[in-house]
Structure 1
Amino acid sequence: MATTMRQMKSCGIIVMRTEPQLSFLLMQKPNSYDLPKGHIEAGEDEWSCALRELHEETGIEASTLHLDEEFRFTDTYQTRYKRFGGKKVNKTVVIFLAWLKQEVNVKVSEHSSFAWVEWNPPHAIQKKIIDPLLQQLEGYLLEKGFKIIM
């Protein structure tokens, strides 16, 4: 009998700002970058999870953001989880887009640091999740008429 693979879902937000230049927020780990994201909890919808994780990992409040209701990046891949004895799981990552309405102080909790990365596509930061997300975002912004200045 085949056992069904465990399903996991993480939700997060790519935060963009326009000042001092168009840039996006990445969380830094010692050897990699990540987005503020995390696992969905019982009773949460995707947006609630994404906003909770953003606040937990950066201190950024939902009230300081303009949430873009149209952009949604999704990727599903298999990965292994230590907490499940190294078993493979199907992980789905959902990333939303939000724009800062005002300057914020980022308060790092789970990462070593953070960086505002200048928007200058094409980006080559991390092959899994971040690069495909930024590629989709670039297309979305162009479609919306955002002028990307090179």
Structure 2
Amino acid sequence: MPQTRACGFLIVKGNPIESFLLMKHPKRWDLPKGHVDEGETDMQCALRELEEETGITAEDITVDPNFRYELQYVVNYKKKFGGEDALKTVVYFLARLDRDVELNLTEHGDAQWFDWNPPHTIQEQTIDGLLAAVAEHVEGSK
């Protein structure tokens, strides 16, 4: 089975966390993320995708060096891999927004800041587990 890799961020506001950012696709919520380019590290990819999709730059955030969340699932790529299924690995990092930034959405129709009030039930496959892992990480950091 072909494999693909993507990286992105969960961006939060507040300390302790008050809210988190999700991007709106036509049928679901998602996070700013994208495929790793050749020669790029996971972090470089995540930072590039964050800026490309939201306008948030590395200077606007503080990355939590102790958090990394990885998941895998099967995706059918209609164009890439000729319509075959592929095993997708996604790596998410956690970062706090240090200052208000006007979002510049380039790939999503909308974005929303959701109140931080775990447990969250938003999207089972990719988001709920990440949010649960962040909640556990934050509790363990106290």
Alignment of 1:3-22 (within 5 A): 5-18=1-14, 22=18
CA–CA distance in structure 1, aligned partners of residues 66 and 78 of structure 2: 34
Is 1:39–2:30 an aligned residue pair? no
Alignment of 1:89-104 (within 5 A): 89-104=86-101
CA–CA distance in structure 1, aligned partners of residues 112 and 47 of structure 2: 19
The aligned residue for residue 23 of structure 2 is 27
Equivalent residue for 1:59, pick from 52, 55, 80: 55
CA–CA distance in structure 2, aligned partners of residues 36 and 120 of structure 1: 21
Tell me the SS of whatever aligns to 2:125: coil
The aligned residue for residue 84 of structure 2 is 87
Q: What is the Cα-based RMSD across aligned positions, in Å?
A: 1.1
CA–CA distance in structure 1, aligned partners of residues 23 and 38 of structure 2: 25
C-alpha deviation, 1:18, in angstroms = 1.1
Q: Identity of paired residues, percent?
A: 44
Could you list the per-position Cα deviations for residues 53-107 of structure 1 after superposition, in whole angstroms to 9, with x for gaps in the alignment? 0000000010011011110110011111112221011100000000011111111
Tell me the SS of whatever aligns to 1:114: strand
Q: For structure 1, which runs of at least 5 residues remain unmatched after alignment?
A: 146-150
The aligned residue for residue 49 of structure 1 is 45
Q: Which has the larger radius of gyration?
A: 1
Is 1:120–2:102 an aligned residue pair? no
Q: Which runs of 4+ in 1 moved over 6 A?
A: none
C-alpha deviation, 1:30, in angstroms = 2.1
CA–CA distance in structure 2, aligned partners of residues 79 and 24 of structure 1: 25
Tell me the SS of whatever aligns to 1:48: helix
Tell me the SS of whatever aligns to 1:128: helix
Question: TM-score scaled by structure 2?
Answer: 0.95
CA–CA distance in structure 1, aligned partners of residues 50 and 128 of structure 2: 20
Question: TM-score scaled by structure 1?
Answer: 0.90
